Structure 1
Amino acid sequence: MTCAEAGKAPYVIAYRCKFTLSEALRIRIHVSGDERYELFLDDRRIGRGSERGDRSNWFYETYEVEMAAGEHQWLARCWALGPYKPWAQVSVQPGFLLSPDDEALSPLMGTGIARWEAKPMSGYQFIPLPSSIGTGAKLDVDGASFDWDALSGEGGGWLPAEPMDYGIHRSDNYHLSSTQRLMRPAKLPAMQEVSFQPSAVRFVEQAGRLEADQQPIDASRDLQEDHEIWQGLLTGRPISMPAHTRRRVIIDLGDYYCCYPELVVSGGKGAVIRLHWEESFYEEAQGGRKSNRNDIGGKWFKGYGDTFRPDGGSNRRFDLLWWHAGRYAELIVETASEAVVFHAFNLLETRYPLEMEGSIRCNDERLNQVVAASFRTLQMCAHETYMDCPYWEQLMYVGDTRIQSLITYVSTLDDRLPRKALDMFRASRNNHLGLVNCAYPDQGGKHISSFSLWWVAMVYDYALWRGDAQWIRAMMSSVRDEIDKLLCNRSVNGAVRLPISWNFMDWQTAPSEAWNFGEPPHGADRLNAAYNLQMIHTLELVAKLEAYLGEDELASRARRLAKELGNVVEQLFWNEERGLFADDTGHQHYSEHPQVLSILCESISPRRNGRLVPDMLKATDLMRTSIYFDHYTFEALASAGHSDALLTRLEPWFGMEASGLRTTPEIFLDTTRSDCHAWGAHPIYHMYTNLLGIRPASMGFTSVGIRPQLGSLTCLHGKLPHPNGFIEAKVERQGSQWLVEVNLPRGLPGNLVWGNKRYPLREGRNEFSIPIY
């Protein structure tokens, strides 16, 4: 149903349905909204939705509630931002649906059948953000025109809601049109919402919006005596701010948070309250340079947020439709002729309910801190989808998501987010290219060829870590088609050309005219070594997938294609004198990326791959991999037995605490855009799989291989969750020996590999003493 009086989006609609039960019931309902909804039963919020998807996968939430006999009310706040919606938000046509599972209750509460009423909620103004930020419009809420009765289902202006089309369940419909939503049950649990208190008030000055926007933090203007007053508000103590007063308050949350804020105020007619959010302060008014994130003095706050305008009423609750992200909040209050009382400043942390079920620790406390910060980053980038970053885009990119999924596999048995990601990326192929979108859901839509290949690798990862051959088999038609489409773009010499698209490979770590906005060097022939080597690596993974499914002929084909392309790559890009692969066929440019990918390829000559790591590490003219592609660098270094080099490359992560970073950034440069980017959280994965060396030894993790490589570490202890229980391994250096303890759950066979020796592992406790050579 919809509201005929809504007009053109953006807008917010309130829907209500009053009904009476003759007896107590336990009721199951299915609910969905376009674009978003918030559902209340008798003034108690039941949930938020709809879980983010697309028109072919429009999700509905299911709730079960206990109701006593008597009068009740469903109330929904549903909104559509139209042209101002987030990049990741899809819409067909704004509306709201509530369907009781028991059809006998439909005349009582089913939308389009029961007596539902609706009205537009006045008082909302939507403020679009700069084009570089994709999180959706922010709010300017005018309390004087706001309908304060609507969210309790009271007041006037309610009109009959307008029925729309019947909901269509995806599994029962094979017709696709732009005006349909194909409904399916929500894949994920409700997002976590937990109250928290910010860490501290860092700065208070007598300034309004104009002064705050035009000057940096000046310590000489800090009203130290006001800190305690505003700190009291954060801990639940109301405060009063006199008429004709201005205050700017900088609040340090103490960590990186994604949160729903709420302000409860009385009085203050004509006042303006602005609440903005930011990841870090900046060194200058223009430009993106950051330094220590703990420091604010002399720096600029550039955040975005919302504005609230009290009407003088009592206990007015100002809240938001969507959450904010960052470490710092800036609260600016300007009162008019009436004082304002702040009763509460509430914050609810929101994210996917992801927790680390196992543990991983070593003797180097710096690395333990990296693990904690990395997992916090993963949590902040996990919501109804994975996200590249919670502050800037909130898009699920393939390149980021593959790494986030791998961290999830070693951290928890909950694989619902990885499964949804794989499914949504497969759905994204319904476009004019017939290829995976680099980010999805995304109302814009774009393609990155390397991300197409990483999506195929994601399918392999799921098969390796989780199994489910039947589900993987359903993915394989898309996997095969994706590979074949990309392989069609070949030059006469047999190499695969970069397509006409954004061929992002990695952010460059140094100035270079050869690298362009993350695209690696190539000549007029559009041939690049790293892209071809990634294709070889992906074909090898496809061969393993096909073998897992018993498709031996297809596995043989994939291996043949990989070997043939490997021969071409060695002929075109290998420089024998340097012992490295060039980026381009003219051998003008060199980077770590093709060397890293070659080491991961089984189809490249072992003689050549054997030279790569030492020559790569000693070369001074290579474009180094960034925090994102370091994941593959670490995989290559470990596979070649260079764990010391892996630990050395962790130095930027070790410097995070000193620079005030609470989460891993988009790139380790002063001009990084995002301070929270989970593609850099992969040290957790490498602690488990490359340093402690726990990996699946067969598809579906039906057996385990443990190959510790501690490098300079002297103790490493980890518990990795497995469907059968926990895999626990501890490696410790004592005197002239390595002591190795391994505990395997019931029904999981495995092997310990140490150097060139293999030791069988049995269920339960296994102990080894291995001399240090």
Structure 2
Amino acid sequence: MLPQGLSGLIAITSLGLLMAAAASADRGRPAPAPDLLAKRWSARWITHPAAPKADYGVWLFRRNFDLAAKPARFVVHVTADARYRLWVNGEPVLRGPQASDPAEWRYESLDLAPWLKSGTNVIAAQVIGYGDLAPYPSMGLRTAFLLQGDTAAERVADTGAAWKVTRADAYAPFRADRDRLHTFVVVGPGDEVDAAKHPWGWQQTGFAENGWSTPRVLGHGLPHGWGTDVDYWLKPRSIPLLEETPERLARVVRASGVTLPAGFPAQAAPFTVPAGTKAAILLDQGHLTNAYPQLTVSGGRGASVTLRYAEGLFDAKGQKGHRDEHQGRELRGLGDRFRPDGGTRRLFAPMDFRTYRYLQLDLETGTEPLTIEDLSGVFTGYPFKENARFTSDDPALAKIWEVGWRTARLCAIDTYVDCPYYEQLQYVGDTRLQALISLYVSGDDRLVRNALELYDRSRLPEGLTQSRYPSFSPQLINTFSLFWVDMLHDYWRHRSDDAFLRARLTGVQSVLAWFEAKIDPATGLLGPLPYWTFVDWADQWGWNEAMGIGGEPSGARTGGSSIVTLHYAGTLRRAAELCRALGQAELAARYGRIADALLAAVNRHCWDSARRLYADTPAKDIFSQHANVFAVLSGAVTGDAARDLMQRVEADRSLIQATTYFRFYLLRAKKAAGLGDEYLAGLGQWHDMLARGLTTFAEKPDPTRSDCHAWSATPVYEFLATVCGIEPGSPGFATVRITPHLGHLQQASAKMPHPRGEIVVALRREGAGLHADVTLPEGVTGSLEWGGKSIALRGGAQSLRLP
């Protein structure tokens, strides 16, 4: 049980969520009864009688019911629009729903039996409707809640007229400091909570429902595909519940107006802010995190506590500089505000998680002193496990691994996200790289499949996928549709899942047909491209205020872009390989022919024989690393010519340079050209970020907006795939090819998950030769390649030497 007074303003705290997670892990998530997947549900969506459809509001729902005995099983299926938290007899047990769209609205399934008892029980839910303050990933229709009992035994809990509801008048949106950030921020609002207006104890049995209303009853829950209207077609959650792990802030950076105890904040150490005091406390988590802050206070009627969160501190010029530095710097960031009511041990925890390294408490008391009982956090994220490891004789690489994996974890929630602080949107360009990291480090492919399905469902009638999804604000980056096709090819290489891939072939054809229609017959290159043709955040392709767009290369809007033409050609070749494997030989041959024609056109119009480089357009007046990278990756140039080209591309600083994101493709092109041993020497941007105190990898080199961007976490993948050289030797990872590129290393070792077990390698130079200890899963074969020689590998452990 929760201490008296703690059960009201609570996000899913550690006790309740860890119990729910343990229950899920021990028994697995219960599957819905078959009828619920095919027939209209008995439960009805409910809302408050006065709930507006498009305005912000927080709503509280309750259902009292009696049980003759504690049940052995009591499974329910729960969802809401936009977000919910669920309690049983005062214990928090669940949050959701998984992000999606009304065509496949997700619900969570949970067995509530561990929290139920004989006699009177109560199920309670807190639901937020964001209205026009909705975060971009929220794609709901109206504020509503739905709970369905799995069988007749649980139908007593079905949402309907027997429930009660009230508006949580204590809540209001809090949007301080957004304008001071001067950037694109599309996460939801903070919470401003007036504790005096909150019905403390509302999740408990015995709570008096005076003034609560009978809900307005809406339509029945509808399983996916039922009926004539797409109105929240329901599908079970397809990914695990998110992790929730308690964590504590590391240290006090500075404080004014109050004396702090020695142990705070690393341990619970209460302190009191006297009446009539203004105080400010800047705290450091020690590294960036996604967490639900947990603030417990007593007393302090009339006080105000503002919590603000930031990735880094800003100097007078608005620059972050070294992330550990705090002298002469201030916190600018998103926040929450709590107004205590004088009660004992009141707990404030925001509705949504917050991203922060630095957290600042701004306190102002009235006529009563305020006691801060404790402040901590509960980390949240997709429950990826770090099932891979990488070690070497270069200790700097261990830090890159640590920070890279943290970056990847913070950018994975119930979808992949580009950055957790500013957007929390699943962009294709970012997700392709995140998916590879997930497959290699965790081995969990469920979030990958979820992303591929969501993008497929996002397609517009003309053929393109949306560039980020789910998102209520559609966005079209045409090049990201090509990366979606590339993602499917990646998935095919790493997983044997032909049925899933065949279901995506219609989408593949629609994307590639859109680009085919844009080929200019006069040049054979892609002509003018509508929408946003984003390639990279290169300095020369900066933001164009007049057009509201940036990151576009020359020729994207006027036609003749070698970069996009080469990207398209490479994607066609990968699509051809995929289609051939799935029995679509005629389609594969057609894609191959189109790719060959595009590459011939690029070689004819964009190759500059004087500079021995590919130009960005036929005008041959602008040159970038990007065009030449895609020339190698598409196969426009191969063999020794590709090697020579990439050596020039790396050395020529007059070229438009790849930023952190696009260096993934630059380094992959070098590997394809036989320069994989130079990979480690190309990590300068990552070493620079560590030298500037970042604890996650940033969107781009300073000055940068986001300090945590998953597309910058790719060294974690490359340490395994390039340095240790572990890659699929055939589709579905059926065989393994190990081609190490040790660079300056004398030794390196790794392990990583494989669909049939685990791959373990330990590599050591012996002069010009290599000693390798390799273990493959039983029944899996492969090859080890070094210095132009190859040795066959078998399942199990083996020790090998290559001269």
1:33 to 2:80 alignment:
yes
Do the aligned partners of 2:632 and 2:638 also contact (CA within 8 Å) in 1? no
User: What letter corresponds to residue 748 of structure 1 in structure 2?
Assistant: V
**Map of 1:136 onto structure 2:** 188
**Map of 1:10 onto structure 2:** 56
Do the aligned partners of 2:429 and 2:480 also contact (CA within 8 Å) in 1? yes
Per the TM alignment, residue 383 of structure 1 is displaced from its structure 2 partner at its CA by: 0.3
**Map of 1:99 onto structure 2:** 148
1:150 to 2:185 alignment:
no
Do the aligned partners of 2:454 and 2:470 also contact (CA within 8 Å) in 1? yes
Say if 1:122 and 1:330 are closer, same or farther in 2 by CA, change over 3 A: same
Per the TM alignment, residue 184 of structure 1 is displaced from its structure 2 partner at its CA by: 0.5
**Map of 2:117 onto structure 1:** 68
User: What letter corresponds to residue 63 of structure 2 in structure 1?
Assistant: C
Question: Matches of residues 212-231 of structure 1 in structure 2 within 5 Å?
Answer: 226-228=259-261, 231=263
Do the aligned partners of 1:729 and 1:742 also contact (CA within 8 Å) in 2? yes
**Map of 2:103 onto structure 1:** 56
Per the TM alignment, residue 758 of structure 1 is displaced from its structure 2 partner at its CA by: 1.7
Question: Matches of residues 407-418 of structure 1 in structure 2 within 5 Å?
Answer: 407-418=437-448
Distance 1:171 1:7 in 2: 28
User: What letter corresponds to residue 4 of structure 1 in structure 2?
Assistant: P
**Map of 1:160 onto structure 2:** 214
> Which piece of structure 1 moves more, 702-711 or 725-734?
725-734
Per the TM alignment, residue 428 of structure 1 is displaced from its structure 2 partner at its CA by: 0.8
Distance 2:226 2:707 in 1: 44
Do the aligned partners of 1:578 and 1:615 also contact (CA within 8 Å) in 2? no
Say if 1:605 and 1:567 are closer, same or farther in 2 by CA, change over 3 A: farther
Question: Matches of residues 698-717 of structure 1 in structure 2 within 5 Å?
Answer: 698-717=730-749
Question: Matches of residues 78-117 of structure 1 in structure 2 within 5 Å?
Answer: 78-106=127-155, 108-112=156-160, 115-117=162-164
Do the aligned partners of 1:274 and 1:332 also contact (CA within 8 Å) in 2? yes
Question: Matches of residues 511-550 of structure 1 in structure 2 within 5 Å?
Answer: 517-522=550-555, 525-550=558-583
**Map of 1:214 onto structure 2:** none
Say if 1:476 and 1:176 are closer, same or farther in 2 by CA, change over 3 A: farther
3-state SS, counterpart of residue 48 of structure 1: strand
Question: Matches of residues 401-412 of structure 1 in structure 2 within 5 Å?
Answer: 401-412=431-442
> Which piece of structure 1 moves more, 415-424 or 238-247?
238-247
Say if 1:277 and 1:512 are closer, same or farther in 2 by CA, change over 3 A: closer
**Map of 1:466 onto structure 2:** 495
Per the TM alignment, residue 605 of structure 1 is displaced from its structure 2 partner at its CA by: 5.8
User: What letter corresponds to residue 642 of structure 2 in structure 1?
Assistant: N
1:20 to 2:20 alignment:
no
> Which piece of structure 1 moves more, 325-334 or 308-317?
308-317
Distance 2:475 2:52 in 1: 31
Distance 2:617 2:591 in 1: 25
> Which piece of structure 1 moves more, 357-366 or 674-683?
357-366
Say if 1:353 and 1:545 are closer, same or farther in 2 by CA, change over 3 A: same
Question: Matches of residues 162-561 of structure 1 in structure 2 within 5 Å?
Answer: 162-173=216-227, 175-177=228-230, 180-206=231-257, 226-228=259-261, 231-232=263-264, 234-284=266-316, 287=318, 289-429=319-459, 431=460, 433-492=462-521, 493-509=523-539, 517-522=550-555, 525-561=558-594
1:649 corresponds, among 660, 666, 682, to 682
Do the aligned partners of 1:5 and 1:119 also contact (CA within 8 Å) in 2? no
Distance 2:242 2:109 in 1: 14
> Which piece of structure 1 moves more, 366-375 or 336-345?
336-345
2:626 corresponds, among 573, 588, 593, to 593
3-state SS, counterpart of residue 385 of structure 2: coil
Per the TM alignment, residue 228 of structure 1 is displaced from its structure 2 partner at its CA by: 3.4
Per the TM alignment, residue 202 of structure 1 is displaced from its structure 2 partner at its CA by: 0.9
Per the TM alignment, residue 425 of structure 1 is displaced from its structure 2 partner at its CA by: 0.6
**Map of 1:216 onto structure 2:** none
2:606 corresponds, among 551, 558, 573, to 573
**Map of 1:212 onto structure 2:** none
Which blocks of at least 5 consecutive residues in structure 2 are unaligned?
Answer: 1-45
**Map of 2:31 onto structure 1:** none
RMSD: 1.9
1:583 corresponds, among 616, 622, 646, to 616
Residue by residue over 1:399-421, the C-alpha shift from the partner in whole angstroms, topping out at 9 and shown as x without a partner, is 00000000011112211100000
User: What letter corresponds to residue 170 of structure 1 in structure 2?
Assistant: H
Per the TM alignment, residue 604 of structure 1 is displaced from its structure 2 partner at its CA by: 4.1
Per the TM alignment, residue 172 of structure 1 is displaced from its structure 2 partner at its CA by: 3.7
Say if 1:245 and 1:78 are closer, same or farther in 2 by CA, change over 3 A: same
Say if 1:523 and 1:745 are closer, same or farther in 2 by CA, change over 3 A: closer
Which blocks of at least 5 consecutive residues in structure 1 are unaligned?
Answer: 207-222
3-state SS, counterpart of residue 45 of structure 1: strand
Percent pairwise identity:
31
Residue by residue over 1:67-123, the C-alpha shift from the partner in whole angstroms, topping out at 9 and shown as x without a partner, is 3322110000011010011111111121100001113432x110126x111111111
Distance 2:254 2:557 in 1: 55
Distance 1:522 1:94 in 2: 45
3-state SS, counterpart of residue 422 of structure 1: helix
Do the aligned partners of 2:526 and 2:565 also contact (CA within 8 Å) in 1? yes
Do the aligned partners of 2:541 and 2:552 also contact (CA within 8 Å) in 1? no
Per the TM alignment, residue 584 of structure 1 is displaced from its structure 2 partner at its CA by: 1.4
Say if 1:498 and 1:348 are closer, same or farther in 2 by CA, change over 3 A: farther
Per the TM alignment, residue 522 of structure 1 is displaced from its structure 2 partner at its CA by: 2.0
**Map of 1:211 onto structure 2:** none
User: What letter corresponds to residue 276 of structure 2 in structure 1?
Assistant: H
Residue by residue over 1:18-37, the C-alpha shift from the partner in whole angstroms, topping out at 9 and shown as x without a partner, is 00111221111100000111
Distance 2:686 2:640 in 1: 33
User: What letter corresponds to residue 65 of structure 1 in structure 2?
Assistant: L
Do the aligned partners of 1:84 and 1:136 also contact (CA within 8 Å) in 2? yes
Say if 1:48 and 1:100 are closer, same or farther in 2 by CA, change over 3 A: same
User: What letter corresponds to residue 157 of structure 2 in structure 1?
Assistant: M
Distance 1:45 1:663 in 2: 31
3-state SS, counterpart of residue 102 of structure 2: coil
**Map of 1:743 onto structure 2:** 775
Distance 1:291 1:50 in 2: 38
Do the aligned partners of 1:449 and 1:498 also contact (CA within 8 Å) in 2? no
TM-score, scaled to structure 2: 0.90
Residue by residue over 1:312-335, the C-alpha shift from the partner in whole angstroms, topping out at 9 and shown as x without a partner, is 222222221101002000001111
3-state SS, counterpart of residue 217 of structure 2: coil
Distance 1:87 1:387 in 2: 12
Distance 1:160 1:340 in 2: 38
Residue by residue over 1:18-70, the C-alpha shift from the partner in whole angstroms, topping out at 9 and shown as x without a partner, is 00111221111100000111000000111001111111121000001223322
Do the aligned partners of 1:398 and 1:438 also contact (CA within 8 Å) in 2? yes
Distance 1:183 1:283 in 2: 49
**Map of 2:29 onto structure 1:** none
3-state SS, counterpart of residue 620 of structure 1: coil
Per the TM alignment, residue 768 of structure 1 is displaced from its structure 2 partner at its CA by: 2.2
